[in-house]
A = this chain, B = another copy of it.
Amino acid sequence: MTKPRKPLILVCNDDGIFSQGIKALAEIADEFGDVAIIAPDRQQSAVGHAITVSTPLRARPFRIDGRFDGQAVSGTPADSVKLAHNQLLDRKPDLVVSGINHGSNAGINILYSGTVSAATEGTILGYPSIAVSCTDFDEDADLSGCQDAARKVIGYVLNHGLPRGVTLNLNAPSGPLKGIKWARQANSRYVEEFEGRVDPHNRNYYWMTGKFQLLDEDEKNDISMLEKGYASLTPIQYDLTAYSLLNDLREIEL
């Protein structure tokens, strides 16, 4: 009888392979199976679901803490997961996890997030996938509660799987875990998004900045759960069709 193989867990992120967060997530993945870290070779925040089509990609092997084998990819988070699936892994992963991102990916930030896009790409390729982010931007933030939340969600998904086409998006505050709450993506936006400045040559330039605004009226959303100190867990989908409208619109002849 052959020994049953341990699950293979692909770990990716958007902060790059040398971030604290990816190490913290690999440690949790390691409790459940074999770990392969395949992630961007540098910071790729706010890249959304970008992919690299006009330059070739490279992958460079590396080792973190003398413990985890990995490959550093010269591309985006979505590139990394695609390349892992198509070329770099010698067996199919049982799970894709992305993170731990330094900074939350809740509300409208889900759209801009490279962390979430790596997990979404995992889902597109047919793997159960989870994105994990911590509200704290500090590289030395206490990720222990976020790790505890990730452990629960990874354990659940490895046991029960996920419906096709659905990604889980997990966010947690820094510090100890108070609990995990299911939530929807908050209706939210940024206002006053740019600061205009004038350079020494008298030309204008603009820094992206902005204030986050929560527009939701009830509290069953990810941002509100995080504000109350809970971890939030949101099932998201990459079929963007607004089905609730499509039937009515079909009546309109153009």
Which of A's residues lie within 8 Å of B, judged by CB?
A: 43, 45-54, 56-59, 78-79, 82-83, 85-87, 108, 110-112, 117, 120, 124-125, 149, 152-153, 156, 163, 165-166, 180, 182, 184-185, 187, 189, 192-194, 196-197, 203-208, 233-243, 245-246, 249-250, 252, 254
Contact = CB atoms under 8 A, between A and B. Distances in A.
A54 B166 CA distance: 31
B112 A49 contact: yes
Main secondary structure of the interface of A (DSSP, over half): mixed
B57 A189 contact: no
A196 to B, nearest CB: 6
Among A79, A182, A207, A240, the most chain B Cβ lie within 10 Å of the Cβ of A240
A233 to B, nearest CB: 7
B59 A51 contact: no
Contacts of A238: 108, 111, 240
Contacts of A236: 240-242
Contacts of A54: 43, 45
Given A59-B206, A86-B192, A237-B241, 17 more contacts: A48-B49, A49-B111, A53-B208, A56-B205, A56-B207, A57-B205, A57-B207, A58-B203, A82-B193, A85-B193, A87-B194, A111-B120, A111-B240, A182-B246, A185-B241, A235-B242, A236-B241
Nearest to A125: B189
A194 B82 contact: yes
A110 B241 CA distance: 10
A197 B48 CA distance: 27
B117 A185 contact: no
Nearest to A239: B185
Nearest to A44: B50
